[in-house]
Structure 1
Amino acid sequence: MSARVPACQLLERQQDNYAALWVIDPPMDSWLVDQSAGVVSGNQGVLNEWAAKGKQAHNPFEIAVGEPLGKEVVLFWPKAHQLGIWWLKWLCEQLPTGTSIEVVGEHQGGIKRVPKILAELGMPCDKRDNARRCSLFVTRSAALELASGNAASESAWQRFEAVGVTLESHPGVFGHGKVDEGTLLMLESLDSCLPNKPLKVLDMGCGDGIVSAWLAQRGHHVTAVDVSAFAIEACKRTLAANGLAGRVLHSDVFSALEGEQFDWIISNPPFHKERDISYGPSQRLISGAPEHLVAGGRLVIVANGFLPYPEHLQRAFQDFQTLADNRRFKVYSAIKPSR
């Protein structure tokens, strides 16, 4: 478990005797796991952490509307404030009107915007505490107006067209509302080197499903995985919007794919965790790829040019090549030796 989180320390100093605390989109913090009865998060790693301690753990898309969470709810404000707005709307749909909701977060993470956002939603706001460069607000769930007959939280979804596919995008998902330059470079590289025969392909870190849909359009058998439940839902919607088939799994890198092998693994792996640079998932992707590739199978990844992926590829595969380099991004390919 990681070191104590400032926002959790601010909560702890309230000295509340929580009886049935539910935490929404929290960081990993040992005190918070022990204090809470359950967690709702889009992050599979967080869900695994709570479940390992015998706590209830759900992603928001598997909870029925109105399913009880309890009367003690704390939302940890995310860096993507549009995602924070989505969580507030989701909580208003989920909780009885007038249920107390605490909202906590770091100043550099945008928590100071919360009073204005609550006012725009017609929700009250009281400031409860301020310390450790964090703030804690208290509000109450409200009955929000429905848009076009849909739940208010549905308004966060954005549909757009790119590379010949229709994409469904959600706040908090990588590249929300646009296509990443590195992904475009990788797709251009794949267009010239993918064989015509159908392959069993793993799209690792699928995001909104642009790579999965692009591959499925070309007849490949796609498995898409992501640590984010929002990405999983977006990828499912993207495939459906294009009338395409594919298997989509909520997985922390290879955790849901034990023993399974693929012809190709394709990825635009993340290197940020909130505001910090983190190579952990990328390193696990590269080091675990040979085990999940058939003999002669190929890993293709795209990355910012400054990232130290060549040394990781060399260590895992003994050899690799650069398929493309536009000075900002590089596309790497590594092949598992045939035996």
Structure 2
Amino acid sequence: MTSPVIELQSLTKKIGSKTIVDGLTFQVMPGEVFGFLGPNGAGKTTTIRMMVGLMSITDGEVKIRGHSVRNEFEQAMVHVGAIVENPEFYGFMSGYQNLVHFARMMPDVGQERIDEVVQLVRLENRIQDKVKTYSLGMRQRLGVAQAILHRPSVLVLDEPTNGLDPEGIRELRDYLRRLANEEGIAVIVSSHLLSEMELMCDRVAIIQNGRLLDVRSFKNVLTESETVEVRFEVNELAQALDMLTDDMTARVDDSELVVTLPNRRQAIAELNARLVKAGIGVYGIRTQIKTLEEQFLEVTRGNRIV
């Protein structure tokens, strides 16, 4: 089994008598895009700053590739690329010149790797232009390129979509997915845009008041012990209701039959077969899944990200 790239073990931060982050424990795997969600003041940025060594740890541990951030800082940070707040560059220099400048600070980063990351973030057509002419989205892309020059195992981004227009957000989302898939980098992203996190991430951790409430996966299939609502578009609603078994409940909504089933796959197939056998026309089947926003509000009991 692949070992985690980054591990948080009872991570805690106290300032005076106030606990900002309270015993966070989770792992992030290679090639995974991991989201970090919470209301304002939940402790997201504080946690990220402790991950990358910008803030001291009161208690607990962060391990990156098995190296302790507290006790083996340099060995741990070799594996980290990060953008905390906005990426900063020399505006009078070209994007390429900025990358060359950063590459000189790192061992074994040559022209070939610079060209590779430029293509990865698709800046090849503008990389020779001065950075002061770049849009915010282009600066974010250049920031990602700079952060992955040394082939890190984990890329940490704090609110990377701030200030981006919808096109820029979609571009950044695509780049991060490509990084995870092609380079095997574990990407950790904090954001207040729930819809984007749902499209971007494999899993999300939800925190509130510095505590981990839940870790949700978007790849999980419902187990047989769970239920799901499925909408059936049929031509005979009354007759379709008679086809339900005792373990199913249903209601009519907008001329569709909404059935609560004991699991997702087997029960849907069986009910569909029963309807067709009875001569009922089935024109559509749609599974209703809670959005990340609905799940977030459910877990945090209505506290919003604003």
TM-score bucket of the superposed structures, by smaller chain:
under 0.3
Give the structure-1-normalised TM-score: 0.25
Q: Give the structure with higher Rg (CA).
A: 2
Structure of greater relative contact order (alpha carbons < 8 Å, 6+ residues apart): 2
Give the structure-2-normalised TM-score: 0.27
